[in-house]
Amino acid sequence: MCGIIGYVGDADETLSVLLDGLSNLEYRGYDSAGIAVGGDGLRVEKRAGELDALQTALDGETGDAIDGPVGVAHTRWSTHGPPTDENAHPHTDETGRVAVVHNGIIENYRELRDELEAEGVAFTSETDTEVVPHLVARELRAGRAPEAAVRTATERLAGSYALAVVVAGTDALFAVRHDSPLVLGVGEGESFVASDVPAFLERTRDVIYLDDDEFVRLDATGWTVTDADGDVVDKDVRTVEWEAEQTGKSGYDHYMLKEIHEQPVSLRQCISGRVDELDGRVTVEELDDLGSPETVQFVACGTSYHAALYGAQLLRAAGVSANAYYAHEYATAPAPLSGDDLVVGITQSGETADTLSALREASGRGAETLALTNVVGSTAARESDHVLYIRAGPEIGVAATKTFSSQLVGLNLLTAYLTDGGTERRLVDELRGVASDVQAVLDESTAADVVETFVDADAFFFLGRGFDYPVALEGALKFKEITYEHAEGFAAGELKHGPLALVTADTPVFAVVTGEGEAARKTIGNVKEVEARDAPVVVVTDGVADAGRYADYVLDVPTTDERLAPLLANVQLQLVAYHMAARLGRSIDKPRNLAKSVTVE
């Protein structure tokens, strides 16, 4: 969840590169930030709060300029200890010779801390990370060279970690990863290491994705990657396909609004080359070697879990046994596997710790695995047997928008491939038109006007059945994430089994009603139930079941295949959440307590 940026290059640029990198990583969520610049000596500055607080502290520095050929910086999201100056990264040893930034959790830190304190080491923070610089310093005192000291210290760690380390008097940076992402950036006369590509994308698009337990040394001569035994590893350099400009706001007030409006483009990218309108086929070359599984298990968290629920419904409707599981539950209590089973991990970043653990559990038990992800070269993509990229492009806003829509389309492609060879003409036609349908919703939505009526509401309910149910859950999640108001999503039929007790005239109910089948008719019945309790009702509908006649407000979507209609309804609910959050003055792109990539379990 935290952000790491490390740099080796021009001493005059180190500080600005680090600060720019931190700024580019703000979207990941954080509550403190800090830097360490090394060379002959080591200068460290860190502050609780946002980057402005760190910049103010740096502006107030007197004496020598903070420069040097090597440096690391970090944005922290608190786990061990609250956000304070002392708990912010980088952490140092007692002499200030070693500085460390860390993502992940050191699970045996208590044991290590007790050991170090028994030797007389004094700790200054509450974090698990601080054991690392003290371990490195102990190895340096024992006469080990800096690289060997970092390696030996790392061998003592249990848990998940991405570490970047600088040592005073050494113009090199050392980094290692284990169950936490780390990527190397290769520039002209400079090198980078970071938790995510946007940290250095303005300076290079050439990257190397590090695998677990790989160790990298960056210095003036370039970079070297070695394995746990110290043997050099030959790594491929990849070129990131998107430009730095794509991570800007492009004139929108917020990244989230920009990304909502990018959905027509991202959906076309997802479908491109995979839908042949002339032949009426879905073709997914990446899955050509995928067999015909007896059952499919989806594992995911958060927004991706809602996509998993949708994907499981798609497959069941097509006659394939399928279920969705929270990845964090699956990893500790996995579902039974038998026969030719496929486990699909859905993760936007490809680095979600819970989902990676679930996929590893499934793989260890003999299941075939597939990653549905947005990030090329991510850990999930590399470790799974198969990968289906959703091609949504960079998403900076913490609240997922365009990636969710692309996940839904990707799941339709997967279902078509697994069930009928992708030869269903109607689905092919509707997939080709889904981007235009989303554009119509964006052009015609009245969501901004609707939310004005409910600014002072007590709580918000979201209802749906069948394919509309996961979208109702996602609508509630988006709403609570960025408005900070209480919102709950329900299977529409569950309303009368308890939640109806909470419905009042101050409880707006958003009901998703698409198609004209039994699910739509029964959801209309639930709308009548809340209407009888004087609750205001907003119906998101394609109009097929005439649900609008029972609503106080209607948010329209175009008519399409019943499997794709929820995707269009979701766009309306994204706009509902966005406009309410804007109306309330919330921090939309960086909602409190949340992070973009959840890389700890």
> Which tokens sit at 29?
């969520």
At which residue do the structure tokens 């993502």 appear? 103
The Cα–Cα gap between 461 and 527 comes to 11
Q: Report in angstroms the alpha-carbon separations of 463 from 112, 310, 467.
A: 49, 15, 11
- Length in residues, the chain: 601
Angle formed at CA 345 by CA 109 and CA 512, multiple of 5 degrees: 115
All residues at 6 or more sequence positions from 51 whose CB lies less than 8 Å from its CB, including other chains: 19, 22, 23, 26, 33, 75
All residues at 6 or more sequence positions from 159 whose CB lies less than 8 Å from its CB, including other chains: 104, 105, 106, 107, 108, 109, 128, 178, 179
Choose, from 2, 46, 270, 590, the residue flagged as catalytic.
Answer: 2
- Told to judge if 480 belongs to the known catalytic residues of this protein, a careful annotator would answer no
Other Cβ atoms closer than 10 A to 337: 18
The edge-to-edge listing of strands for the beta sheet with 159-167 is 91-92, 98-106, 159-167, 173-178, 215-219, 222-226
Nearest to 326, CA basis, from 295, 358, 372, 352 = 358
Q: Which amino acid is at 163?
A: L
- Told to judge if 596 belongs to the known catalytic residues of this protein, a careful annotator would answer yes
448: which strand partners? none
Angle formed at CA 97 by CA 10 and CA 203, multiple of 5 degrees: 25
Going by the DSSP 8-state scheme, the letter that residue 123 receives in this structure is P
> Which tokens sit at 250?
């492009």
- Say if residue 558 is preceded by a cis peptide, omega within 30 of 0: no
DSSP string over 502-570:
G--TT--EEEEE-SSSHHHHHHHHHHHHHHTTT--EEEEE-STT-GGGG-SEEEE-----TTTHHHHHH
Q: Which stretches does DSSP call E strand in 168-319? A: 173-178, 183-186, 191-194, 206-209, 215-219, 222-226, 238-239, 275-276, 281-282, 295-300
Nearest to 133, CA basis, from 193, 74, 189, 188 = 74
Choose, from 478, 480, 590, 596, the residue flagged as catalytic.
Answer: 596
Catalytically annotated residues = 2, 596
